Amino acid sequence: MPDDQAVSSLSMKLDCVLDSRTLRFNSNSRISSSACSSKFLANGTFEGGYILQNIEDPDLPQMVGEFSLTDSTDGITNHISISKDDRELIIASNDANIRIVDLATGKNQEVQLPLAINCLAINPHNPNEYFVAADDVNNYILDRRELNSKQLNHFSAFKGHSDYGFGCDWSPADENLLLSGNQDGTVRLWDRRMPDASIFGWSSALGSDAFDIDGLIGGGPVRNCKFSYHGRHLVWAESLDHVGIMKVGDLRTDCELVHSRVQSIDFIGKCIGLNVCPQDSGYGEQLIIGVNDCPLGGILNYQLESTDKPLDFDFSF
């Protein structure tokens, strides 16, 4: 199709904040995980390290450094979280270690665990607690103050999945609500006070065209799941082609048609990550989805306007 006839749409402005070809130690490294705050951008590598940048000034990002965490051949940086105060990185590596990096001093606190953590969500109400998805059928709440042994028996275990977990999140609105996504093709919502069974569970294919054809179809592995910024919505992604969105309030025991309440986003390619960010001074939210596909890959951006958002022509003194 000629360029002048191509379908065009509103697009976000994209800036290159990191050109790997200019890196001293990681010019050939592959990115395995990523985390961003208003101050820092941290990218984990398949080679067992991370690259840290200061992005407070988006027009002039500054390289903080390239760091190696382990020489282990199984040391992929699975997940990075940045603390709310931008003082620490919490890094989960595939060599079954959690490493807490003090960004002021550069010192690392390293804890060996009996299994590899694939995803870690910090409790928004208590930064000492982590909800994790791991190479285990159970999800766990870990307390960083007690991470001094190789045993997880004394931590809360959330039981219900049948395969390894790769996605999890902690509700910013309700400290008791937890979300998990698993290779078994299901998404589960938990109440931390009742770890023996999820309060809701559903196929990752829910809302997709395939589910419309056959409601018994098994979902694909769930690699990403998130609460929205304000905690009112749930978002999950199968590893391929499908993202589902649902209101937390629609998950009611008296609601028989949950499927009809799911918004589906179907595309071609692998979902390599998603996040929900605030916009419109915190009144609205935007869902950002990364898609990896050779001819069709890119970034999808969807806006969710809040009912509390003032009209564009409102004037305030």
Reply yes or no on whether the pLDDT at 217 is more than 60: no
| Residue of 2 and 291 predicted with greater confidence | 291
Residue 124: band (very low, low, confident or very high) from pLDDT cuts 50, 70, 90: very high
Distance CA 222, CA 208 (A): 14
* Per-residue confidence (pLDDT) for residue 280, from 0 to 100: 80
Distance CA 177, CA 31 (A): 30
**Which residues 6+ apart lie within 8 Å of 70 measured at CB?**
48, 93, 95, 97
31-275: which CATH number, 1.10.1530.10, 3.90.1200.10, 3.40.50.620, 2.130.10.10?
A: 2.130.10.10
Q: What is the pLDDT of residues 260-273, one digit of tens each?
A: 678 899 999 999 99
Q: Do the Cβ atoms of 227 and 241 come closer than 8 Å?
A: no
Q: What is the mean pLDDT of residues 150-178?
A: 92
Reply yes or no on whether the pLDDT at 3 is more than 60: no
**β 222-227/200-203 pair status:** unpaired
Q: What is the mean pLDDT of residues 199-227?
A: 76
* Per-residue confidence (pLDDT) for residue 259, from 0 to 100: 63
Q: What is the mean pLDDT of residues 53-70?
A: 92
Nearest to 15 by CA among 60, 82, 51, 75: 60
* Per-residue confidence (pLDDT) for residue 213, from 0 to 100: 43
Reply yes or no on whether the pLDDT at 119 is more than 90: yes
Neighbour tally for 294: CB within 10 Å: 6
Q: Do the Cβ atoms of 118 and 165 come closer than 8 Å?
A: yes
* Per-residue confidence (pLDDT) for residue 279, from 0 to 100: 85
| Residue of 168 and 17 predicted with greater confidence | 168
Nearest to 225 by CA among 133, 95, 103, 93: 133
Q: What is the pLDDT of residues 230-260, one digit of tens each?
A: 999 999 999 888 999 999 988 865 555 666 6
Q: Work out the burial of residue 224: count CB atoms within 10 Å of its CB; fewer than 13 is exposed, 13-18 middle, 19 or more buried.
A: buried
Reply yes or no on whether the pLDDT at 6 is more than 50: no
What's the whole-model pTM score? 0.87
Distance CA 277, CA 300 (A): 13
* Per-residue confidence (pLDDT) for residue 135, from 0 to 100: 97
